[in-house]
Chain A
Amino acid sequence: MRPTPRFWHAVALAGVLTGTGVLTEQPAGVLGGAVLGVWLLTSQYIAFSAFRAVDERLNVTVDPIREVVVIEESVSITASMSLAAPTRSRIEATIRTPTGAALDEGADTTIVLEPGETDAATTFTCSFPVAGEFDYPPVSVTIESHDGTVTETLTVDPDRQIRVDPRRPRNLHIGQGGERVDAYGEHAAGSGPSGLVPEEIRQYVTGDTLDQIDWKATARLRSPHVREFETETDRKTIIAVDHSEQMDLGPQGQTMLDYAREVALGHARAAESFNDPLGFYAIGDEGITVRQRPTSAPRGYRRIRNALHEVEPATGGDHSPVDRGRGRLARPADARSTARRLAGDDSAFGEAVSQFLADTDAYVQRIESDPLFEGVRRILTETDGQVWLVLLTTDVRRDRIRDVASLVASEEGALSLFLTPRVLFDADSMDDLSAAYDRYASFESFRRSVDRAPNTEVYELGPGDRLDAVLAARQRARQ
């Protein structure tokens, strides 16, 4: 029970009356001061009764709209306070957010019940910059007595938790035909070791890392020596991420782009570990939006990682347009040249693609406006030497994907294509697993057809639990 300034003023008045009565030998003053003290004591008892009633009847709840969110996602929280019966006290509750939570601007975390009221609520939003599980702290409830002489503060534990997940997809599946494969963290098949050859041995100097030390040379020369390398080949790893609007499909934090980002980061880490030259391009609805030319510098790797973390689905209108009409394949003559090269290709892929190249003029016009194709074309134009293209996109425009694969093949590059099948990200696709399997089977057929191209590997990428559900349903249907 905490006295307020009004309480102390009354105490002071009682003291003045009593003191004056004593000094002037007036019994009225002493009695008056004592009776005023009795009034304060009675107020204190009335307040105690009210506080006890509030403690028994008060219900405070804190309800977030979701109990699992991702980092930086704004979550709406409704806090309410209710009394079984009205009181003469004023009750104020202050809602505290878990440690580290950032309240959005204008958030009102205070609920007030005026005398006679029984319900009050407030809604505010906050976000969490750090992943983890958080308990909502106890709510601080301050009760003021009806005459404002004393207050009391109670704590009410809302007993609520919230889990904040990192912004990364869960249950990531990379595979072919439903079988998981380890498709990143390695060099592409047939590529050999990293593109480095030993150049010279020199003495160790401060700043050299431990993994540069050549231990044989060190033992032989009896002092630390490092081996320096130079680039053996000019084959460059280029990561190209499609961040067009169609990649923004799926729950927040689990979209196609989130899965693509996770795989792209894995490739970036692998390239850095091998010291491979690494470049990064982001391709949106209007064309190339991010361009990081191949680099082997630590700062360059870091820039690429940061760019991958920052890439968001394109909203249109804010990107630099792709150059048009100046690439090698934009002219009908070049398209016809490509058609002639593929004419001798009897594979299913060659046969499938040649039918498009037969009508070269119309073909050039059709593909010229496709940002993904144009983006890949620009990448191949701008990058000297051999290219290992790691392309992450979705299977929505299958004809363009074939065009891209044939383009890379024609330029004698290596292609690792990661496709996020739309069937695994559509919100209602799991409602009919039979239909979902048919769509997945169609995707798998398409994937295999593109995979047959020379120096091309095509993988499926998406949530493993959904794929497992589709395949399991098919298994059950067969039984």
Chain B
Amino acid sequence: MTYPIMSTSPLLLPPRGRDVLGSAPALAAVLGTVLGFGVLGTPLAAAVSLLPALAFVAGGPVLAFAVGTVAVAGVGEIVALPSLPAIVVLTGMLGVDVVDDGRRAGMLFGAFVAAVVGTYVAVRANEAGLLVTAAVLAGGLVVASYLLHRYELVTLGLVESEGGDG
């Protein structure tokens, strides 16, 4: 399914609104979040999952993920919701935007998430503080993004050769 690009809305992405009901991945992500929170924490955690669900309908997957993250950070301890598994459950909402690009994109997204989670666990296991952990994760993502950008320039022939003799 293709969706029109809302280039004027910074974070609002489709599917949202009524489109959620027509999108099987979106419905699965929302239901999965509710179930996941309910399983991971107390029954109250399932109620907390309604916040990202409503945000999904209102603003799409990115907004839903951000609201869900804030909810987990804010009331996670109260409803006995562990941070790492809850964030992994919320990742399913971001995956809705990726899955339409094919299995390969979905698998890549999953691999990247696994890499980030693994890095987080590894760094935290060395008793590093959150600041160091955040710096390692951010640094890795920035380097990966830059390398992908350079690879794209070379592949598409957009790099000007030195000396201008192309």
Q: List CB contacts (< 8 Å) of A39-53 with chain B.
A: 39-46, 48-49, 51-52
A116 interfacial by beta-carbon distance below 8 Å: yes
* Contact A25 B11, CB 8 Å, known A1-B152, A31-B87, A152-B152: no
A17 interfacial by beta-carbon distance below 8 Å: yes
Contact of B141 among A17, A38, A45, A154 (CB under 8 A): A38
**A35–B138 contact, CB under 8 A?**
no
A129 interfacial by beta-carbon distance below 8 Å: no
**B130–A51 contact, CB under 8 A?**
no
Q: List CB contacts (< 8 Å) of A7-57 with chain B.
A: 9-10, 13, 17-22, 24-46, 48-49, 51-52, 55
How many residues from B make CB contacts under 8 Å with A? 57
**A32–B87 contact, CB under 8 A?**
yes
A30 to B91, CA, bound (A): 14
**A45–B65 contact, CB under 8 A?**
no
* Contact A21 B134, CB 8 Å, known A13-B11, A35-B65: yes
A5 interfacial by beta-carbon distance below 8 Å: yes
Binding stretch for chain B, among A143-151, A384-392, A426-434: A143-151
**A35–B156 contact, CB under 8 A?**
no
**B138–A37 contact, CB under 8 A?**
yes
A115 to B14, CA, bound (A): 15
**A51–B66 contact, CB under 8 A?**
no
Q: Mark A236-260, 1 if CB is under 8 A from B, else 0.
A: 0000000000000000000000000
**A28–B87 contact, CB under 8 A?**
yes
Chain B nearest CB from A24 CB (Å) reads: 7
**A27–B130 contact, CB under 8 A?**
yes
Of the candidates A20, A38, A49, A90, the one having the most CB atoms from chain B within 10 angstroms of its own CB is A38
**A22–B131 contact, CB under 8 A?**
yes
A52 to B155, CA, bound (A): 8
A171 interfacial by beta-carbon distance below 8 Å: no
A31 to B130, CA, bound (A): 10
Range for the number of chain A residues in contact with chain B: 35 or more
A88 interfacial by beta-carbon distance below 8 Å: yes
A116 to B156, CA, bound (A): 22
Which B-chain residue is minimally distant from A52 (CB atoms)? B155
B109: which A residues are within 8 A, CB to CB? 38-39, 42
Which A-chain residue is minimally distant from B5 (CB atoms)? A148
* Contact A52 B156, CB 8 Å, known A4-B7, A42-B109: yes
A340: which B residues are within 8 A, CB to CB? none
Q: Mark B142-166, 1 if CB is under 8 A from A, else 0.
A: 0011001101110110100000000
A6 interfacial by beta-carbon distance below 8 Å: yes
| Chain A interface, >50% SS class | helix
A90: which B residues are within 8 A, CB to CB? 5
**B156–A51 contact, CB under 8 A?**
yes
Of the candidates A44, A46, A52, the one having the most CB atoms from chain B within 10 angstroms of its own CB is A46
Chain A nearest CB from B34 CB (Å) reads: 18
Chain A nearest CB from B2 CB (Å) reads: 5
* Contact A45 B108, CB 8 Å, known A10-B11, A30-B137, A36-B66: yes
**B137–A44 contact, CB under 8 A?**
no
B76 interfacial by beta-carbon distance below 8 Å: yes
Contact of A35 among B76, B105, B113, B124 (CB under 8 A): B113
Binding stretch for chain A, among B20-28, B37-45, B93-101: B93-101
B47 interfacial by beta-carbon distance below 8 Å: no
A49: which B residues are within 8 A, CB to CB? 101, 105
* Contact A28 B73, CB 8 Å, known A22-B131, A88-B2, A146-B5: yes
Which A-chain residue is minimally distant from B1 (CB atoms)? A88
A34 to B13, CA, bound (A): 19
A42 to B155, CA, bound (A): 18
Chain A nearest CB from B36 CB (Å) reads: 14
B83: which A residues are within 8 A, CB to CB? 26-28, 31
**A148–B130 contact, CB under 8 A?**
no
**B130–A17 contact, CB under 8 A?**
no
Contact of A30 among B2, B5, B13, B130 (CB under 8 A): B130
B116 interfacial by beta-carbon distance below 8 Å: yes
**B2–A39 contact, CB under 8 A?**
no
Q: List CB contacts (< 8 Å) of B53-85 with chain A.
A: 62, 65-66, 68-70, 72-73, 76, 83-84
A35: which B residues are within 8 A, CB to CB? 65, 87, 90-91, 94, 113, 116
**B13–A147 contact, CB under 8 A?**
yes
**B62–A10 contact, CB under 8 A?**
yes
A13 to B66, CA, bound (A): 8
* Contact A154 B98, CB 8 Å, known A30-B130, A32-B90, A41-B112: no
**B65–A32 contact, CB under 8 A?**
yes
Would you list the 8 A-B pairs with minimal beta carbon distance, nearest first?
A32-B69, A9-B10, A28-B83, A28-B73, A26-B73, A37-B141, A34-B137, A28-B72
New A-B contacts (7) at CB < 8 Å, excluding given A6-B9, A13-B62: A27-B124, A30-B120, A30-B137, A34-B116, A34-B120, A46-B101, A49-B105
Chain B: residues with CB nearer than 8 A to chain A? 2-7, 9-11, 13, 62, 65-66, 68-70, 72-73, 76, 83-84, 86-87, 90-91, 94, 97-98, 100-101, 105, 108-109, 112-113, 115-117, 120, 124, 130-131, 133-134, 137-138, 141, 144-145, 148-149, 151-153, 155-156, 158
